[in-house]
């Protein structure tokens, strides 16, 4: 069972992922375990303060290293008591590696994850070399804290766990798994506001349906995320399908 610990000032925020959806059902099925740690419980002063003004001046506050390191240490120790040899400690920060499908798969291979959801202007830099194994970003923008980023990582990782999804093939067919955006999806009715479901999807010819879906995925990626295609080496068959898509579009 995957062990996840999160160090956060706002544990209640995680009710969103533990009480509903795929992550909620996976927790009920004990596919993973989640423990939340509030660094205020590890504060070394009477006021339970975990932040202070930055040296050198400037706006905002910085999270102090000692309460965070103690909380992370407690999370590590808990995981080791469950049999996790070496939990991977991840700091959620805009300065980290950009989260993509490859990194999600990488994180899924871990026995345990300890995530730090920082707040304010950031955390004391001296923690980086002492406790973090990795730094991860979910995008080039700034959030009020790392909790939402931690939940994004959790959702992306948990849905990869065997048994988390109703259909065993769902995760393998997600966008980005093969380096492409997903193909278009349709359901009933066959006609909606004058727009019809593509005939090939009604044909029952599974080989043609698979070919059509791949062509649409290639074309949609070319239109919307050409940067993904630039990273991917297309096979000869995929190149032909992409050219067909371009000609049909023109």
| DSSP 8-state secondary structure symbol assigned to residue 160 | T
Task: Output the six-digit token pair for 221.
Answer: 């990626």
Catalytic residue flag (residue 159): yes
Any catalytic annotation for residue 174?
yes
Candidates 66, 94, 134, 244; catalytic one: 94
**From 174, 182, 220, 225, the catalytic residue:** 174
Burial class (CB in 10 A: 0-12, 13-18, 19+), 167: exposed
**Is residue 121 flagged as an active site residue?**
yes
> What beta strand segments (E) does the chain contain?
2-7, 32-37, 51-52, 62-63, 88-98, 112-117, 134-137, 191-192, 195-196
Interacting residues of 159 by C-beta distance below 8 A, sequence separation 6+:
22, 23, 26, 165, 170, 171
DSSP notation for 175-219: TTTTSSPPPP---S-SEETTEEPPGGGGS--HHHHHHHHHHHHHH
Annotated catalytic residue, options 33, 106, 121, 135: 121
Q: Which of 194, 186, 88 is nearest to 131 (CA)?
A: 88
33 is catalytic: no
Which of the residues 76, 88, 119, 159 is marked catalytic?
159
Q: Which residues does the annotation mark as catalytic?
A: 94, 121, 159, 174
């Amino acid at each position: 069972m995957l062990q996840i610990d999160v160090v956060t000032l706002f544990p209640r925020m995680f009710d969103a992922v533990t009480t509903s959806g795929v992550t909620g059902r996976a927790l009920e099925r004990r596919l993973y375990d989640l423990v939340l740690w509030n660094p205020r419980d590890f504060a070394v002063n009477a006021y339970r303060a975990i932040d202070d003004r930055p040296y050198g001046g400037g706006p905002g506050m910085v999270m102090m290293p000692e309460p965070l390191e103690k909380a992370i240490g407690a999370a590590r120790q808990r995981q080791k008591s469950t049999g996790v040899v070496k939990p991977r400690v991840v700091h959620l920060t805009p300065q980290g590696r950009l989260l993509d499908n490859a990194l999600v798969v990488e994180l899924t291979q871990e026995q345990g994850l300890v995530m730090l959801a920082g707040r304010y202007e950031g955390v004391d830099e001296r923690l980086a070399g002492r406790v973090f194994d990795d730094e991860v970003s979910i995008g080039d923008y700034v959030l009020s804290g790392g909790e939402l980023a931690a939940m994004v990582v959790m959702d992306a990782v948990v849905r990869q766990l065997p048994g988390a999804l109703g259909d065993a093939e769902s995760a393998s067919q997600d966008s980005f798994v093969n380096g492409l955006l997903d193909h278009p999806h349709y359901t009933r009715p066959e006609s909606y506001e004058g727009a019809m479901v593509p005939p090939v999807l009604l044909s029952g010819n599974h080989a043609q349906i698979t070919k059509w879906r791949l062509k649409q995925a290639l074309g949609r990626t070319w239109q919307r995320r050409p940067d993904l295609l630039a990273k991917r080496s297309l096979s000869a068959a995929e190149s032909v399908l992409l050219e067909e898509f371009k000609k049909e579009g023109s």
